[in-house]
């Protein structure tokens, strides 16, 4: 199970980033390693584009190696670190943890309606095989 949301970015305080949003993602431990995070990120990004956003700002704690590696595998150098908050978040089991703030351009992302239609068409095609 995953919980996700897309909203205006609280980090973007400049008119230069009027199209910025941030996303929040939490994946339950029992679903680790099943591609849940990857799919949730794709959905969040497509919803953001559908809502008119052009860039995403994300933060993650430095102890969350899974998220850091997932972002690097999915986007490589397209994810740019733009900030760092020492001891920015308290995490159960870790204590005070540092946060990394990253930026991602959404220019190559399909809007949600197109992503959903592609997904539906893949299911239809697969069921006919």
pLDDT one-digit tens code per residue, 104-122? 899 889 898 898 888 877 6
Each residue's pLDDT tens digit, 19-62: 888 887 888 888 888 888 898 888 889 988 998 989 888 888 88
Tokens of 31: 């679903």
CATH number (domain holding residue 88): 3.40.630.30
How many CB atoms neighbour CB 117 within 10 A?
Answer: 12
What DSSP state is assigned to residue 19?
T
In tens, the pLDDT along 66-109 reads: 888 898 899 988 888 888 889 888 888 888 999 998 888 998 89
**Range of the structural domain that residue 48 is part of:** 2-128
* pLDDT value, residue 22: 83
DSSP annotation of 79 reads: S
Into how many domains does the chain fold? Answer: 1
Structure tokens, 36: 């849940």
Handedness of CA 87, 105, 10, 44 (dihedral sign): negative
């Amino acid at each position: 199970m995953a919980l996700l949301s897309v909203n205006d970015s609280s980090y973007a305080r400049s008119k230069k980033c009027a199209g910025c949003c941030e996303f929040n993602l939490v994946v339950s431990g029992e679903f680790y390693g099943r591609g849940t995070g990857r799919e949730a990120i794709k959905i969040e990004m497509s919803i953001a584009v559908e809502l008119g956003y052009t860039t995403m700002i994300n933060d993650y704690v430095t102890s969350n190696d899974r998220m850091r590696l997932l972002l690097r595998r999915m986007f490589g150098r397209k994810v740019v670190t733009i900030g760092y908050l020492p001891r920015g978040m308290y995490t159960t089991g870790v204590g005070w943890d540092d946060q990394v703030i990253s930026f991602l351009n959404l220019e190559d992302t399909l809007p949600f309606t197109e992503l959903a239609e592609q997904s539906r068409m893949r299911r239809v095609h697969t069921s006919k095989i």
